[in-house]
Amino acid sequence: MRNEILGDEAAKVREAKLERRCTTRLRREKGRKLSKMATEQSFFLIDDLHVEIEGNEILRGVDLSVKRGEIHAIMGPNGSGKSTLAHTLMGHPSYEVTAGQVLYNGEDILEKDPNDRAKLGIFLAFQYPLAIPGVSTLNFLRTSLKAVKQAEISAREFRKHLLEKMDMLKISREFAGRYLNDGFSGGEKKRMEILQMAVLEPQLAVLDEIDSGLDIDAIRAVGEGISSIMHPEMSIVIITHYPRILHFVKPDYVHIMADGKIRQSGGFELAEELEAKGYDVLLKEVMLASS
């Protein structure tokens, strides 16, 4: 009897999953038609994105529309789903998209693997950058650039490109020869992520908590570095828990995420309001206003 009930439950879950997949496929069909229209308005469009990890729904319908030349900040309390969004955008295999679509330059990227997304010009800076002992920063970055651009770049040409970016970001040239992130401080690792972004010249950068664990001087260095890379053809989505870095990377739009969904959007003043009130008070007000 118990097994029958459990079997019934399992069948229901399977049915629900199947239904969601069908809906997703229908949405993607619709998305293809929408895509041309959407691109004219938004360079990067997230539409009703639902994501599960091990059967638990973490993202519950995220919408975001980003034009070229815009910086969007996504803020939210711990556990609200910010990193889940970043990992899903990069195509991490543990995250299952159950509904919604993500259009980049008119193309649905959800079916593409992480390498192809990078080749399209999408860059993700990780919250916890990895160290690669035995591989110099210079060699790592040259290999990454060759993979992304799908072209040969001579050692000499690359060195010039790298040193230019290092000087621009005020990173000591000595780092080029050191093993990537091996023994680097938290701040140095985050600056290496920014250097990687400068070298790869992406069109869309998603930066997940690039400021976490940094002191105020390191936050300023990272923030000013990001601002110096930004240009009118590029878009940045900066994910952060704390408003501090946004004083150096002035976002055009600020979104507050809670419980897997964007609950409030506004301009820079929303980050200032959050700074003054904190998440608890601000989110209570948002919930009250929407009920």
Residues that bind ligand ADP (CB under 6 A): 53-54, 58, 76, 78-84, 94
Minimum CB distance to ligand ADP, residue 271 (Å)? 16
- Say which entry of Mg ion, ligand ADP, none residue 150 contacts (CB below 5 to 8 A, set by partner kind): none
Minimum CB distance to ligand ADP, residue 77 (Å)? 7
What's the token pair of residue 254? 């600020």
- Say which entry of Mg ion, ligand ADP, none residue 54 contacts (CB below 5 to 8 A, set by partner kind): ligand ADP
- Say which entry of ligand ADP, Mg ion, none residue 42 contacts (CB below 5 to 8 A, set by partner kind): none
- Say which entry of Mg ion, ligand ADP, none residue 88 contacts (CB below 5 to 8 A, set by partner kind): none
Contact 64, 46 (CB under 8 A): yes
- Say which entry of ligand ADP, Mg ion, none residue 181 contacts (CB below 5 to 8 A, set by partner kind): none
- CB nearer ligand ADP, residue 60 or residue 220: 60
- Of residues 73-102, which lie at the interface with Mg ion (CB under 5 A)? 82-83
Minimum CB distance to Mg ion, residue 86 (Å)? 7
Minimum CB distance to ligand ADP, residue 33 (Å)? 31
Give CA separation, 76 vs 10, 110, 165, 259, in Å.
34, 24, 31, 9
Minimum CB distance to ligand ADP, residue 15 (Å)? 24
Contact 282, 266 (CB under 8 A): no
What's the token pair of residue 14? 């399977």
SS3 of 142-177: HHHHHHHHCCCCCHHHHHHHHHHHHHHCCCCHHHHH
User: Helical H runs in 110-251?
Assistant: 114-119, 137-149, 155-168, 186-200, 216-229
Longest dimension (CA), the chain: 72
Residue ranges that bind Mg ion, judged by CB under 5 A? 82-83
